[in-house]
Structure 1
Amino acid sequence: MNQTIEERIRTVAANIRKIREYRDYTQEYLAMKLGISQNAYSKIELAYTRITVERLIQISQILEVDSVDLLQSTSDELIRLHAGHSKTY
């Protein structure tokens, strides 16, 4: 994988968005769980805001995925990996 750092950041952001949508969670819901505004959360998904490892772990816990999967997988791979998992709030 020869992605630049910026491309990797955009991939992680896209993965977060894809799993959030798959789980039928709104941006408002994740923002509330993270203690931030919906606007601030939106900037995470758009890769306008760089997130810390701590924030990545928080997001992965809310989305019920392994943080490593968000870093290493494509959006389609993530959906296949988690297709059998229940969608719980």
Structure 2
Amino acid sequence: MNAITPKEKVHLLLGNIRSVRQLKNYTQEYLAVKIGISPKTYRKLEHGAITLTLPYFLQIAEILDLEPMQLIEGHGIDSISLFH
């Protein structure tokens, strides 16, 4: 069994963020404004074109109303609360 690479882990994390954002009907523009960056920069973050820093990651988790580990591990993402 092959171990997952750090790059693959980041890709999974970004996919989890995207999935939750879409489940909550939040746009990339909405999250960008909430964390204080341009929509273009947010799109680059979510697509892995630029590095997702810890402060931004923590802000995104808070906006999505999830614990950071939920986004990292992906557990329970399909059953998140859609009330915001």
Task: Give 1:16 shift.
Answer: 0.6
Task: Output aligned runs, 1:1-89, within 5 Å.
Answer: 2-73=3-74, 77-80=76-79, 82=80, 85-88=81-84
Q: Is the 8 A contact 2:32 2:39 kept in 1?
A: yes
Q: Residues 36-77 of structure 1, C-alpha deviation per residue, up to 9 Å, x if partnerless?
A: 111100111111121122211100000111111111126xx4
Q: Residues 4-47 of structure 1, C-alpha deviation per residue, up to 9 Å, x if partnerless?
A: 01000111110110000000001110000011111100111111
Q: How many residues of Structure 1 are paired with residues of Structure 2 in the alignment?
A: 83
Structure 1 unaligned blocks of 5 or more:
none
Aligned Cα RMSD in Å?
1.6
Alignment identity in percent?
31
Runs of at least 4 residues of structure 1 off by over 3 A? none
Structure 2 unaligned blocks of 5 or more:
none
Q: What secondary structure is seen at the aligned counterpart in 2 of 1:12? A: helix
Range moving further from structure 2, 10-19 or 49-58: 49-58
Task: Give 1:87 shift.
Answer: 2.4
Q: What secondary structure is seen at the aligned counterpart in 2 of 1:13? A: helix
